[in-house]
Amino acid sequence: MQRIPEAIGVRNRISVVIRAICFFVFMSGAATAAELVDLFRDAAAGAHIRVDHSIWDRLLQTYVKPDANGLNRVDYFAFREGGHAELKQYLAQLQAVDPRILDRAEQFAYLANLYNAKTIDIVLDHYPVSSIKNISLGGGLFAAFTGGPWKAKVLTLQGVEFSLDDIEHGVLRPLFKDARAHYSVNCASVGCPNLHAHAFTGGKLDAQLDAAARAYVNNPRGASLTRGKLVVSSIYEWFKADFGGSDQGVLAHLRKYAAPDLKAKLDGVKTISDNRYDWSLNDVER
């Protein structure tokens, strides 16, 4: 019994150390994200510079395979054998771009394509794999708990090393403040909004994002109703703040992009019953 206070003291000290480490990891990541967002904080309004995404567009058209259920699957096996080297070439080209010379729409398209291309690259480096969450690249204590490659510093732009999370949560969401950003990035999972069969471009961005939103909202992966019970993607729960901050905000967002049949069903819905997400790799079925 005399050892109990000592044991409690040890546990308290360990707890303090763990909290300190977590704080350090969080602040280190936040600093990197801040450095990255500085590269995008200002845009070159009226600029006519366009990033060349032709390699990525061609690869997407070759290896993205829509299935009968509205899910764009990826032929990772064929991609690894026939397109991986070209993908790495494209990623090297993107990391040589200075985003400060781009207008706002071109910056958004650049970030979405960079995120998606690097995600595919990571999967191909580790393929075959059943889920991207099984790929561990480090990235601190949080990454150890959550799994996946999102917190590892896997890209470099203008001397700044950054992660996939830095792109999505450090720049796209807070800087652009457009809920449609969630439909632009793909996490290589069945539950995610589609990886599109064409590269995003600044000139077509609004139309592409609207089409992406409609495709997901009107697919059961985004929203489905059974006996009046609405089940939505966990994206709308995890990032509810981006969709109005409440169930009512999410419902308003869904109605905005719903096709007539779904919109009619949503008219009588007051609350969201549940949410779900499928982390299985969006590989082609063999």
Q: Write down the pTM of the prediction.
A: 0.88
pLDDT of residue 202: 98
Look at residue 20 in the predicted model and tell me its pLDDT. Answer: 41
Spell out the long-range contacts of 42-47 with Cβ–Cβ below 8 A and sequence spacing 24 or more. Answer: 42/100, 43/100, 43/102, 43/103, 43/104, 43/107, 44/100, 44/101, 44/102, 44/103, 45/103, 45/104, 46/103, 47/101, 47/102, 47/103, 47/106
Cα–Cα distance between 169 and 146 in angstroms, integer? 16
Give the pLDDT score at 138: 79
pLDDT tens for residues 231-256? Answer: 999 999 999 999 999 999 999 999 99
Instruction: Estimate the crossing angle of helix 205-217 against helix 104-126, to 10 degrees.
Output: 50
How does pLDDT run across 96-106, given as a tens digit for each residue? 999 999 999 99
Report d(CA 36, CA 158) in Å as an integer. Answer: 9
pLDDT at 142: 58
Confidence class for position 147, pLDDT limits 50, 70, 90? confident
Per-residue pLDDT reduced to its tens digit, 198-219: 999 999 999 999 999 999 999 9
Q: What is the pLDDT of residues 153-170, one digit of tens each?
A: 999 999 999 999 999 999
Q: What is the pLDDT of residues 4-45, one digit of tens each?
A: 344 444 444 544 443 444 444 444 455 577 899 999 999 999
86-124 tens-digit pLDDT: 999 999 999 999 999 999 999 999 999 999 999 999 999
The residues spanned by each domain of the chain are 22-205
